[in-house]
Amino acid sequence: MTAIVQTPVTGPSFLKRLLRSPSAATGAVVVLVILFAALLAPVIAPYDPTLQETASRLMPPTAAHWLGTDAFGRDILSRLIYGARPTLLLVLIVVLLMAPLGITVGILAGFFGGVTERVLMRLTDIVMSFPRLLLAFAFVAIMGPGLINGALALALTSWPAYARQARVETAALRRSDYLAAAEMVGIKGIRLLWGHILPLILPSAVVRLALDLSGIILAAAGLGFLGLGVRPPTAEWGSMVSDGTQVIFDQWWIAATPGLAILITSLAFNLLADGLRDILDPRHG
């Protein structure tokens, strides 16, 4: 059986197609703005995010505090800017752990087949049989709250989807003339897996990853909302929403602003993922 081998879109061609996609371009711009705001937080934040001024507590938006203050008199805009840091850092850690683990398991299962495939896929099925978010909360409850523990919990419960996708694509490539020709010229083992199979399954994995980022952000906010994320007084969007729910009927802006930040960030990643799917997935375009 011969599998169709698609050449990944790279370089200037990829950038041009990305800019021509309205959804991808919009999502990329918003994501870049959020990234730069997080990186430049000490420069652009008007106040120290942990500075408490009880005389200014629960103030509505004013010229001094554009988004108002919380129950401790802390500037919400400053906390919103600094709050992007732990959220994006957690997402980065999850991505660096989740995708490589899942892709590695899927490639090994799809390429070697037999007992290797059965063992790895049964392990994948076991992890997938549990609700992902509930299992992540259980892990964090066992390991203790914190940014690293939260990232590990989300990564350990999110990799099976990548493993299943990589296994299917690797199994199809395993029977292709492309890999047969590579093996005929002496390319085998790790060199074959790393240099010839991995580049061909990366585009679809990138699309899935981009689509999953919004879910990871929501899960990270959920951990913070339940007090299982970063420890106070560190600013984090989920914990800010949790603090605001206590006074939501009188001071609605305290919960609304971090909630809006979560919404905009998730929407931006979804728009970017939609454009990447059109560019990288050969079934779209």
pLDDT tens, residue by residue, 116-126: 999 999 999 98
What is the pLDDT, as a whole number, of residue 281? 60
pLDDT tens, residue by residue, 184-223: 777 777 888 888 888 888 888 888 888 888 888 888 888 8
What is the pLDDT, as a whole number, of residue 76? 93
DSSP 52-101: --GGGTTPPS-SSSTT-B-TT--BHHHHHHHHHHHHHHHHHHHHHHHHHH
What is the pLDDT, as a whole number, of residue 195? 80
Task: State phi, psi for 7 to the nearest 5 degrees.
Answer: -85, 125
What is the pLDDT, as a whole number, of residue 282? 52
What is the pLDDT, as a whole number, of residue 196? 82
What is the pLDDT, as a whole number, of residue 3? 46
Domains of the chain (ranges plus CATH)?
Answer: 11-47+66-280 (1.10.3720.10)
What is the pLDDT, as a whole number, of residue 12? 59
Amino acid at 228: L
Q: Is the pLDDT of residue 1 over 70?
A: no
Cβ atoms < 10 Å from Cβ of 2:
10
What does pLDDT average to over the chain?
84
69 strand-pairing partners:
75
Give mean pLDDT, residues 18-28.
80
What is the pLDDT, as a whole number, of residue 157? 86
| Three-class DSSP category at 186 | coil
Confidence of residue 263 (pLDDT cuts 50, 70, 90): very high
* Dist CA 29 CA 32 (whole Å): 5
75 strand-pairing partners:
69
What is the pLDDT, as a whole number, of residue 240? 92
Nearest to 78 by CA among 56, 46, 40, 43: 46
Per cent of the chain over pLDDT 90 is 30
Name the packing angle between helices 76-112 and 253-280 (round to 10°): 30
